[in-house]
Structure 1
């Protein structure tokens, strides 16, 4: 365990050059050893494989915000940059990447993608006394028990599944099945769904699983279709969920499909095309497809200023918002930024509105938002909220 540094954390040239060599394949910026006016964040995420679009899009949104911030001089005379390492959405690779990032003494771990990977990384971050910021997961296992080093932007899977179950039961759809990934993410979503159903004296009529990074869904389809559910709640990534929807419909299922936000909404829409019509996805950040909120207008304007290189979608919006929230904590950390002063800065945010997206943080509450709403895919690859 190392204490918070008295100034911006340093990084050894050998360790940092090693990280740059690993990150260069992903098109990360060519970075020199960290100096007194640089804050370097470390991100291990899926940039290849069946969940790649989640990491790619989140990172693109965060980089968009940080690049434009840096072009204006940064925050407190500090530039914020991200070193990205690909873990393919596999916990063992994520742990290996995290150890590399921590050995290089990055200021914080930022924007990790997924529950199983984040669960592998969080204990390493806590042991190293390094902040773990805005993981792209709503699992309660990362939020409880409370830890001073962990901060979450998004609502929990319990929040999302409660909203989904409320919508289903309000529509009179009580026969609910759950298709979930066979890992900590799938279990977190299953637990939330079971909890929400139990509050209405209901339970799933069937459950079935798919392995992480797999699209082998035939057995799951057979199991769930046999129960004739009104709706299927899906707790997996976009490739497997799309495969399940197509296979279930081909086998005669005529009910509805509900997904939590981690599925990757635009990626799911792209995978399904016209087959996506009517598929519902819960969301934890405002829609980027409408200018109804100032934060959406800010995001779209930033994309334009950046040369329209970033795709506006819910995943990139979450990356953008995560970078904005991190920067607010940095602004409040003072001129001599340490990990402790950054944490104090985050905890001083209190109740704020980020362009219509409400956040609330304090010394005993590091979950910024409980916002959740439903969206629906259309048959032309778009998303309606």
Structure 2
């Protein structure tokens, strides 16, 4: 009888291991999620910080026993902020690593490359670090945006400038899907006010060759430049134009990477502005910020940032979906559970999903770089 019990137990485990749940990155004790992000190269700080935020929250959850008895495991692959590598990583994560869901991808072109892959595989794609419309329109049931859009960020920036009497506004953008998404947002905001864009200049992805862009923009004599690129090229442009003594205000959208931007600018950063889509991570006023700071400290991370705060929030929303989905977890159950998050306050950050709208937040505020690279509201 003892031998028979062992045999039956072995057969049961074998059957469970071959079940659809296991194929979807779920076991009785774990749930595995995947991330493709820039962990090396000129945009690596963005991927590293996003990953830190994800892991900080997952570690807190796991220390408390996980969700319905399952520990959350994260598999992160480096794409260097290149679309082709992101596509290959997405296939690897879904087809070979058998992840349950994807979370915290970094960038518009990389996310765009992943869309047809995860959509075809029906894998949830949660909290990407991008505000591009291509992840919002047309509606995709597998995409859950935790943050506000680039349209909302650029509207806020243009509104701020025009209200202050600044109407001669130029755009510097990365020459890819991300840059074009931000440019479209500025064009929309300017057209709404009947204003032309003073000048447009570009930079290639993962490049800091901005000399031509700086000359073109300086010749147009704008009062403000809205930058839609990553921190290295944006810092290079600010330095180049300040060296020409051009009296220009510089504005950036959140994807720039606020902390590395300030570090790259040094003393040239004073007065540069960045729109943010998550609560201010340095004050500890909101409950979710205090929770974030505690988790980062426990994980051994002294440097706080808006980007790791965004990763932390993406993880928090995902875990709330797991909690609502219950112990009988499936991808469909997770999607249904996330769609049940209606005007939910995560401690100072409200998220709202429905079965026809997966754009969770419209939170946008402006920050400015002060002396010593510190951000102020």
TM-score range, shorter chain: over 0.9
Q: Identify the residue that residue 23 of structure 2 maps to in structure 1.
A: 10
2:349 maps to which residue?
Answer: 357
Q: Select 2:89's aligned residue among 97, 122, 135.
A: 97
Query: 3-state SS of the aligned residue for 2:154?
Result: helix
- Is the aligned partner of 1:139 residue 2:132? yes
1:112 offset after TM fit, Å?
Answer: 0.5
Counterpart for residue 30 of structure 1: none
CA drift at 1:68: 1.4
1:294 to 276, 279, 287: 287
CA offsets per residue over residues 192-243 of structure 1, 9 Å max, x none? 0010011110021100000000000000011111010010000000000000
Residue correspondence of structure 1 range 133-212 to structure 2 within 5 A:
133-212=126-205
Q: TM-score, normalised to structure 1's length?
A: 0.91
| Alignment partner of 1:366 is 2:358 | yes
Shift of 1:102: 1.1
1:223-372 alignment, distance < 5 Å: 223-306=216-299, 308-309=300-301, 311-372=303-364
Once structures 1 and 2 are overlaid, which stretch shifts more, 179-188 or 348-357?
348-357
CA distance in 2 between counterparts of 1:34 and 1:7 reads 9
> Cα–Cα, structure 1 residues 310 and 124, in superposed 2: closer, same or farther, change >3 Å?
farther
DSSP-derived class of the 1:331 partner: helix
> Tell me, what secondary structure is at the counterpart of 1:243?
helix
Q: Distance in 1 between matches of 2:83 and 2:371?
A: 35
The reply on whether 1:381 has 2:342 as its aligned counterpart is: no
Aligned length: 359
Match status 1:46 vs 2:41: no
CA contact (8 A) 2:28 2:69 kept: no
- Aligned partners of 1:345 and 1:67: how far apart in 2? 22
Gaps of 5+ in 2: 1-17
| SS of the residue 1:120 aligns to | helix
Match of 2:66 among 59, 62, 74: 74
- CA offsets per residue over residues 79-104 of structure 1, 9 Å max, x none? 11110100000001111111111112
> Alpha carbons of 1:251 and 1:164: their partners in 2 closer, same or farther (altered >3 Å)?
same
**In 2, are the aligned partners of 1:157 and 1:189 still within 8 Å (CA)?**
yes
SS, match of residue 9 in structure 1: helix
Secondary structure of residue in 1 paired with 2:311: helix
Say which is worse superposed, 158-167 or 249-258, in terms of deviation. 249-258
Q: Secondary structure at the match of 1:8?
A: helix
Q: CA separation in 2, counterparts of 1:341 and 1:169?
A: 46
More helix by share: 2
1:165, CA displacement in angstroms? 0.1
Structure number with larger C-alpha Rg: 2
Distance 1:152 1:79 in 2: 24
> How many Å apart are 1:34 and its aligned residue?
6.4
Q: Structure 1 stretches (4+) deviating beyond 6 angstroms?
A: none
The answer to whether the 8 Å contact 1:8/1:38 transfers is: no
Please tell me whether the aligned partners of residues 168 and 174 of structure 1 are also in contact (alpha carbons under 8 angstroms). yes
CA distance in 2, matches of 1:129, 1:223: 45
Q: Secondary structure at the match of 1:135?
A: coil
SS for the counterpart of 2:173 is strand
Contact 1:278 1:376 in 2 (8 A): yes
Gaps of 5+ in 1: 12-32
> RMSD of the alignment, in Å?
1.3
Select 2:213's aligned residue among 220, 241, 252: 220
Contact 1:329 1:345 in 2 (8 A): yes
Shift of 1:251: 1.7
Using a 3 Å threshold, how does the CA distance of structure 1 residues 310 and 146 change in structure 2: closer, same or farther? Answer: farther
Separation of aligned partners in 2, 1:202 and 1:269: 30
Q: TM-score, normalised by structure 2?
A: 0.93
